[in-house]
Amino acid sequence: MDQDTLNTLLAVGIPTVVVVTVGTLLVTLRRGRGGTTTQDVPPPVPAPEAPFGDPQAPAATPVPVDTPTGTAPPEAAPDDVAELDRPPVLEVPAPVAGRLTRLRDRLSRSGSPLGARLLQVLSRDHLTEDDWDELEETLLLADVGAGPTTEIVDALRTRVRVEGLREPGQVRAVLRDQLLAIVDPTLDRSLHTDPGTTAEGAAVPAVVLVVGVNGTGKTTTVGKLARVLVAEGRTVVLGAADTFRAAAADQLETWGSRVGVRTVRSDKDGADPASVAFDAVRTGKTEAVDVVLVDTAGRLQNKAGLMDELGKITRVLTREAPLAEVLLVLDATTGQNGLNQARVFAEVAGVTGIVLTKLDGTAKGGIVVAVQRELGVPVKLVGLGEGPDDLAPFDPEAFVDGLLAQ
Ligand SMILES: Nc1nc2c(ncn2[C@@H]2O[C@H](COP(=O)(O)OP(=O)(O)OP(=O)(O)O)[C@@H](O)[C@H]2O)c(=O)[nH]1
Ligand SMILES: [Mg+2]
């Protein structure tokens, strides 16, 4: 290669190498910074957090507002403007009747070790003292509580001695009897939501106050209960008396708006909960609704604060309308711990019924028995999941059958 050729090659080649190298570097850098996504495409907007939304839960049917129930929603509009003009869609809650079977299904699907273990011990040929101890331990581990456990074991011992149970069918029937007796099918578990009348004969909505420790599922329960009432054809107003954080009222409002139920709330953070509760009942009266559901905060630091606040709410409410129900919401997964907290609420608020939530998250069904005994108040409703229609009336027979299902 002569000098001229070499010069030409250098003159053309070096810039080419430089251009190619810089180009490659740029491409690499762009890829390194996120390449095809972060630099070129705006970051994805996170989906709004659903306060409820169990993918397993049966989907509620959307229905446009102002159209008769069951009418198909209008065809999708071709552009965004039409999209905005579309009426908000309301959901039709699932019927309440079928939920009892779901309670049984869920309990048996959780593989309830309680029923299975009890049956397994009771089916042994000769029950020794160790076997009886094992039965006792099984019941205690399932949160049944000391008193009721002794009662069940004593009753079973007597029946085994007197009747000499042998057949598995017999054993199961006796155990079912005992469990049912201890859950107590005679308690009044109906939810009082019929509108009442004042002394002067004016109609007043049934006022339902919902209380409990934070995180137990109060707001979710109020939302689910509103759906149950709507499904039964009742009219409802919600009161957001948890004024500790704005998000609490938003959460409640979201539940209500899904089924066309109005939420009375305060615009101010930290507003007086009693006055919001009062406003809700006033609104309920003015609009002549059947039921006013009042959600409260569970975040109180001490018993005195709780007494003050709940005392004030109940005083203010009863001046407007009698309290039809005071529901204490308890988380079934917290076991005996939850019971201690529940006692304080029961003392303060005159609880008329218990809502046991998150029963889907525990195989320790015994808490139903313990809580009723401890507080002397029936479990009226149970929460079976995060889905909007995962609230069922508590049915002792379905519950015991669920525990014993295999
Ligand atoms: N698995 C299950 N989760 C539930 C149930 N009920 C409520 N939850 C969940 O429990 C969490 C707390 O529920 P909330 O209704 O916000 O509880 P809260 O008592 O109002 O809480 P605070 O307002 O903070 O006092 C949420 O994630 C709910 O979805 C239930 O029956 N089963
Ligand atoms: Mg809440």
**Atom 22, ligand 1: residue with shortest CA distance:** 214
Between the alpha carbon of residue 113 and those of residues 101, 167, 211, 350, 358, the distances in Å are 20, 21, 31, 34, 17
Ligand 1, pocket-test mutation among 220, 301, 386, most atoms within 8 A of CB = 220
pLDDT of 5 higher than 80: no
pLDDT of 301 higher than 80: no
Cβ of residue 248 lying under 6 Å from some atom of ligand 1? yes
Tokens of 264: 């009375």
> Which pLDDT belongs to residue 300?
64
User: How far is Cα 58 from Cα 101, in angstroms, rounded to an integer?
Assistant: 14
Q: Which has more confidence, 24 or 143?
A: 143
- The residue-averaged pLDDT of 137-165 equals 89
Q: How far, in Å, from the CA of 217 to the mean position of ligand 1?
A: 3
Q: Which has more confidence, 274 or 11?
A: 274
Contacts 24+ apart (CB under 8 A), 177-183: 178/152, 179/152, 179/400, 179/403, 179/404, 180/396, 180/397, 180/400, 181/155, 182/144, 182/148, 182/151, 182/152, 182/369, 183/368, 183/369, 183/372, 183/396, 183/399, 183/400
Cβ of residue 331 lying under 6 Å from some atom of ligand 1? no
Cβ of residue 52 lying under 6 Å from some atom of ligand 1? yes
Q: Using a CB cutoff of 5 Å, list residues around ligand 2, an ion.
A: 218-219
| Paired residues of 391 in beta bridges | 383
262: DSSP letter? E
> Which pLDDT belongs to residue 111?
56
pLDDT of 377 higher than 50: yes
pLDDT of 12 higher than 50: no
Cβ of residue 224 lying under 6 Å from some atom of ligand 1? no
Cβ of residue 306 lying under 6 Å from some atom of ligand 1? no
**H helices present in 164-238, as ranges:** 168-183, 218-231
Instruction: Decide: helix, strand or coil at residue 355.
Output: strand
- The residue-averaged pLDDT of 63-85 equals 47
> Which pLDDT belongs to residue 335?
80
Report pLDDT digits (tens) over 275-288: 999 999 999 999 99
Q: How far, in Å, from the CA of 298 to the mean position of ligand 2?
A: 7
Report pLDDT digits (tens) over 77-111: 455 556 566 666 888 888 877 776 766 666 666 55
Tokens of 34: 């996120």
Ligand 1, pocket-test mutation among 294, 359, 386, 390, most atoms within 8 A of CB = 386
Categorize the per-residue pLDDT at 39 as very low, low, confident or very high, splitting at 50, 70 and 90: very low
> Which pLDDT belongs to residue 365?
79
User: How far is Cα 155 from Cα 181, in angstroms, rounded to an integer?
Assistant: 10
Please report which ligand is nearest the Cα atom of 392. 1
Q: Picking from 16-20, 181-185, 226-230, 285-289, which range would have the lowest pLDDT averaged per residue? A: 16-20
> Which pLDDT belongs to residue 17?
37
Q: Which has more confidence, 193 or 3?
A: 193
pLDDT of 74 higher than 50: no
pLDDT of 302 higher than 70: yes
Q: How far, in Å, from the CA of 327 to the mean position of ligand 2?
A: 14
**Atom 3, ligand 1: residue with shortest CA distance:** 386
- The residue-averaged pLDDT of 252-273 equals 93
Q: What percent of the chain is predicted at pLDDT more than 70?
A: 74
User: How far is Cα 336 from Cα 246, in angstroms, rounded to an integer?
Assistant: 31
Q: Which has more confidence, 89 or 382?
A: 382
Report pLDDT digits (tens) over 315-345: 999 999 999 999 999 999 988 778 887 888 8
- The answer to whether the CB of 313 falls within 8 A of the CB of 273 is yes
Closest-lying ligand 1 atom to the alpha carbon of residue 297: 25
> Which pLDDT belongs to residue 207?
97
Cβ of residue 386 lying under 6 Å from some atom of ligand 1? yes
pLDDT of 354 higher than 50: yes
Q: Which has more confidence, 171 or 289?
A: 289
Greatest mean pLDDT range, 80-84, 88-92, 113-117, 378-382: 378-382
Instruction: Decide: helix, strand or coil at residue 240.
Output: strand
- The residue-averaged pLDDT of 172-201 equals 90
pLDDT of 204 higher than 90: yes
Q: How far, in Å, from the CA of 228 to the mean position of ligand 1?
A: 17
> Which pLDDT belongs to residue 54?
33
Report pLDDT digits (tens) over 206-243: 999 999 988 999 999 999 999 999 999 999 999 999 99
The mean of the pLDDT values for the chain is 78
Greatest mean pLDDT range, 43-47, 94-98, 260-264: 260-264
pLDDT of 257 higher than 60: yes
Q: How far, in Å, from the CA of 331 to the mean position of ligand 1?
A: 8
Cβ of residue 350 lying under 6 Å from some atom of ligand 1? no
- The residue-averaged pLDDT of 104-121 equals 73
